[in-house]
Amino acid sequence: MAPSIPDIAQTPQGHEGGAPAPLHVAIIMDGNGRWATQRGWPRLAGHRKGAEQIKKVVQAAPDLGIRYMTIYAFSTENWKRSTQEVLGLMKMFRLMIKREAAELSRQGVELRFIGDRTPLDPLLRETMDAIETRTKGNSKLTLAVAINYGGRDELKRAAQSIARDVAEGKITADEVDEAMISSRLDSAGMPDPDLVIRSSGETRTSNFLPWQAAYSEYEFTPTLWPDFTPDELSDILDRFAGRERRFGGVAS
């Protein structure tokens, strides 16, 4: 008997025909420090300019057909930086979220955060919780901001949560499947990214979405993040549209 064909036509979300998949673009916003250093400015000046670019890119995203966007703002490894830079970034995150809350809401953006927020400053966490509540259900664009995010850390926390349920007898080990793991990640409920973009010329993923991006397309651009524009995003999307995604199948 032929082995039954697993139901993987529905692999990465929504690509099984019918309505076009909602486009999820994830961005590793790298190069702020070099952008500032090239100008003889402190690194934080680069982060501030980088934050301005995020606003432009987010504003342009829905018109480019993007429904979900995930941006890497601070990794679990970024604590290795100077206290001044780390504190400066944390302060900037809080101010940005507070300042942009009304505008994001007006634009129909749902803001959420991925990453472990437990070690973050309580004031920052409050601001994060508040904007998540305020923008919940907005449907023009879902923007996930990765703060204190590490893919391995996220998988570790998901494994712990599943292990606890197994230990308590709520589920059996055999019931653990890929969908359950996805549903325990911080990104639960979002489709996997179709495209991951990294700026600044580095060609590595630096612990970003290792599970979710298993079948993503990648684009690496030499542009430093503070110089990245919606026009460049549009060009990248044009190139992406010409790619053939096979998901393990054969060319059509």
Residue set of the binding site: 30-35, 43, 47, 75-77, 79, 81, 198, 204-206, 217
What CA–CA distance (Å, rounded) separates 49 from 52? 5
Alpha-carbon distance of 150 to 172, in angstroms, equals 27
Stretch that binds ligand IPE, among 181-189, 201-209, 214-222, 229-237 (CB under 6 A): 201-209
* Catalytic annotation present for 30: yes
Closer CB to Mg ion, 108 or 201, in the complex:
201
What part of residues 49-88 is at the interface with ligand IPE (CB under 6 A)? 72-75, 78
Closest distance to Mg ion from the beta carbon of 30 (Å): 4
Q: Is 192 in the site for Mg ion (CB under 5 A)?
A: no
Alpha-carbon torsion, ordered 199, 203, 206, 209, to 10 deg: 80
Site for ligand IPE contains 44 (CB under 6 A):
no
Nearest Cα neighbor of 153 from 125, 120, 115, 206 is 115
Given the residues 30, 186, 192, 194, select the one marked as catalytic.
Answer: 30
How far is Cα 182 from Cα 67, in angstroms, rounded to an integer? 19
Q: Is 206 in the site for ligand IPE (CB under 6 A)?
A: yes
Binding-site member from 12, 31, 150, 191 for ligand IPE (CB under 6 A): 31
- Name which of 52 and 175 has its Cβ closer to ligand IPE: 52
Q: Which residues contact 205 (CB under 8 A, 6 or more apart)?
A: 28, 196, 198, 213
Residue of the chain from 26, 28, 30, 149 that contacts Mg ion (CB under 5 A): 30
Identify residue 68 by its one-letter amino acid code: Y
User: Would you count residue 246 as binding ligand IPE (CB under 6 A)?
Assistant: no
Is residue 138 annotated as part of the catalytic site, yes or no?
Answer: no
Q: Are 83 and 114 in contact (CB under 8 A)?
A: no
Q: What are phi and psi of 112, to 5 degrees?
A: -140, 165
Report how far residue 230's alpha carbon sits from residue 251's, in angstroms, rounded to the nearest whole number. Answer: 31
Question: Rule CB under 5 A: which residues touch Mg ion?
Answer: 30
Question: Rule CB under 6 A: which residues touch ligand IPE?
Answer: 28-34, 72-75, 78, 89, 200, 202, 204, 206
